[in-house]
Structure 1
Amino acid sequence: MSRAVGDAAEQLAVEFLRARGFTVIDRNVSSRFGEIDILAMKEGVLHIVEVKSAPTFEQAANNITPAKIRKILMTAEAYMKKHRLELDYVLDAVIVSGNACELLENITL
């Protein structure tokens, strides 16, 4: 997937989240472990959001691997430590297929 396609999917995901009451607080957060696409708050909970885009929901969802989840969580811990945040958090995914988005809440393995 090209960077432009990924950026467009991420922007669509941001708009989708905002329409559902999330406040986006940061994007494209990097650490030596990996990257977080979107950090958003809702009802006092930090949502760590991975955005995946593909022609079908299944293709996009299947790209969320256990290794990717571990990297995201390590990056989240580094971010929270750096910013001295002590918040409840969950790992979510926004699946983008065409112009449609679907939120998968609290993804874990």
Structure 2
Amino acid sequence: MSRRLGDQAERFACEYLMREGCRIVERNFYTRFGEIDIVAERGGVLHFVEVKSGVTFEPIYNITPSKVARLVRSIDVYLKKKRFDLPYQLDALIVRGERCEWIENITF
């Protein structure tokens, strides 16, 4: 997917999350392990959101166990750097055209 389409999906995802009561804390946080697409907060819980989009395939399959492991390491770096002491979870947000599916607390 092109960077332009990825940026568009992330913007749409942020709008969706805000409608769902989230406050966007940060976008595109980079570590040596990878990127955290969106950090949002809702009800005292930090949501680390991996955004995936696609029309001709099922985007969730791009979140592999190795991708989750890299995200968990990136989350660790984020929490230490920002000194947050809130409960947190790793979520996926699937964007298909104008529809979003928020899958909370993904684990393998």
Q: Same fold (TM over 0.5)?
A: yes
CA RMSD of aligned residues (A): 0.9
Q: In structure 1, list runs of 5 or more residues that go unmatched.
A: none
C-alpha deviation, 1:86, in angstroms: 1.4
- In structure 2, distance between residues paired with 1:108 and 1:68: 11
> Residue 29 of structure 1 aligns with which residue?
29
- In structure 1, distance between residues paired with 2:12 and 2:90: 18
> Residue 98 of structure 1 aligns with which residue?
97
Q: TM-score, normalized by length of structure 1?
A: 0.96
Alignment of 1:1-109 (within 5 A): 1-55=1-55, 59-109=58-108
Extract structure 1 runs of 4+ deviating beyond 3 A. none
Count of residue correspondences: 108
CA deviation digits over 1:54-108, x for unaligned, max 9? Answer: 105x611111111111111111110110111111100001100111111001000
- In structure 2, distance between residues paired with 1:84 and 1:95: 29
Partner SS for 2:50: strand
CA deviation digits over 1:18-63, x for unaligned, max 9? Answer: 000000000000001111000000000000000000105x611111
Q: In structure 2, list runs of 5 or more residues that go unmatched.
A: none
Identity of aligned residues (%): 50
Supply the AA of the counterpart residue of 2:62.
N
- In structure 2, distance between residues paired with 1:30 and 1:59: 25
- In structure 1, distance between residues paired with 2:94 and 2:105: 13
Supply the AA of the counterpart residue of 2:79.
M
